[in-house]
């Protein structure tokens, strides 16, 4: 399977050319072919997702060794293999990587890897962005602001598979309906989705707080502030951070309050409001307007999922609503 096909920055069988690019992209200072006759055929694809960088690299039917130096890059780098495997030495220990076992690298620390027929997703995660998102999930009184992750990732577990599926879904969206899109509503939502999944699903120093924090009782004015903001700004990007700032509480507290008041989460409520706006636009649209255009306007990048959600909420397909326009 090809990932991020439309975001290719390198396709080469030239080892030196590959070394130069990877040195810029991922702080790799050496790359060598080893042992058996090799078919070196590298493809590197890179795109941005808000403050994050998502890439996919494949090296062909060969065995390679690579090294990364110490750096002042205060970020983590999540490695999710999609093919092949190998071993990694990082922070004084040896780790196995495969399609069942990923890794989170501290980019400040050196790394040595021996990889065979290897391909992987990589996500650059600035620590300040992770910390900010973690504080948002916990509320401003959360004591853990710098989540430390376990280096080895169990991708065969249910949480690990969920993160893999989320990353694959985002990559397909960036390579398909969101290709060349500057829809900030959708892109900010995808960044939130990935960060939340990483923090909630992958073991880290904040896991107990994120999963076991005592839930506050619903406070009506929290709900009202967030609800009113959603209705007034549904046409603009609204992230989890935006809502907790306006509600003045942690997201888990806000989520509990929304579930108590409406039986759904704040982001599900936002989705419902945007579907209602899309319904009105479909009824009022001029000839020539398409379902896909109106769906994208309200932050729905996948036409099929939009239709499913729309049908669940209104009992008809969006195309049926469009035919009823005056």
The answer for residues whose C-beta is within 8 angstroms of residue 187's C-beta and 6 or more apart is 49, 50, 178, 181
Check whether 80 has a pLDDT greater than 90.
Answer: yes
Are 243 and 229 in contact by the 8 Å Cβ rule? The answer is yes
Tokens describing residue 235:
């046409």
pLDDT band at 287 (very low <50, low <70, confident <90, very high): low
pLDDT at 24: 72
Helix axes 303-314, 266-284, angle to 10 degrees: 90
Average pLDDT of the residues in 264-273: 90
Tens digit of each residue's pLDDT (9 = 90 or more) over 233-242: 999 999 988 9
Please report where in the chains the tokens 């409001």 appear, as a residue. Answer: 273
Are 271 and 309 in contact by the 8 Å Cβ rule? The answer is yes
5-154 CATH pick, 2.60.120.10, 1.20.140.10, 3.40.50.300, 3.50.30.60: 2.60.120.10
Residue 248 burial class via C-beta count within 10 angstroms: exposed 0-12, middle 13-18, buried 19 and up: middle
- For residues 102 and 262, the model is more confident at 102
Q: What residue ranges do the domains of the chain occupy?
A: 5-154, 270-323
**pLDDT averaged over the chain?**
87
Same fold, 5-154 and 270-323: no
Tens digit of each residue's pLDDT (9 = 90 or more) over 6-22: 999 989 988 888 888 77
Tokens describing residue 174:
């960036």
Tens digit of each residue's pLDDT (9 = 90 or more) over 194-234: 999 999 999 988 888 887 644 444 446 888 899 999 999 99
CATH 1.10.10.60, domain 270-323, yes or no: yes
- Gap between the Cα atoms of 95 and 86, Å rounded: 9
- Gap between the Cα atoms of 134 and 241, Å rounded: 10
């Amino acid at each position: 399977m090809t990932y991020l096909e439309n975001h290719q920055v390198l396709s080469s069988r030239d080892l030196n050319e590959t070394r130069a690019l990877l040195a810029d992209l991922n702080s790799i200072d050496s790359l060598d072919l080893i042992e058996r006759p090799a078919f070196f055929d590298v493809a590197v694809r890179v795109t941005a997702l808000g403050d994050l960088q998502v890439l996919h690299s494949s090296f062909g039917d060969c065995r390679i060794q690579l090294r990364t130096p110490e750096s002042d890059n205060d970020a983590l780098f999540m490695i999710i293999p999609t093919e092949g495997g190998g071993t990694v030495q990082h922070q004084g220990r040896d780790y196995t990587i495969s399609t069942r076992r990923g890794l989170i690298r501290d980019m400040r620390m050196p790394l040595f890897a021996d990889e065979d027929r290897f391909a992987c997703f990589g996500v650059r995660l600035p620590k300040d962005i992770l910390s900010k998102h973690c504080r948002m999930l916990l509320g401003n009184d959360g004591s853990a602001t710098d989540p430390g992750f376990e280096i080895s990732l169990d991708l065969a577990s249910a949480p690990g598979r969920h993160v893999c599926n989320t990353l694959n879904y985002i990559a397909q969206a960036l390579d398909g309906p969101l290709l060349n899109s500057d829809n900030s509503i959708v892109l900010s939502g995808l960044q939130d989705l990935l960060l939340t999944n990483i923090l909630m699903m992958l073991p880290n120093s904040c896991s107990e707080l994120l999963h076991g924090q005592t839930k506050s009782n619903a406070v009506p004015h929290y709900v009202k502030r967030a609800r009113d903001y959603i209705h007034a700004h549904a046409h603009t990007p609204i992230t989890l951070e935006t809502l907790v700032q306006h509600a003045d509480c942690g997201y888990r507290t806000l989520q509990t309050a929304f579930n108590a008041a409406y039986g759904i989460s704040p982001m599900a409520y936002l989705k419902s409001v945007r579907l209602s706006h899309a319904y009105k636009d479909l009824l009022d649209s001029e000839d020539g307007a398409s379902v896909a255009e109106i769906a994208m306007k309200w932050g729905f990048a996948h036409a099929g999922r939009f239709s499913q959600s729309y049908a669940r909420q209104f009992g008809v397909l969006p195309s049926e609503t469009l035919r009823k326009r005056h």
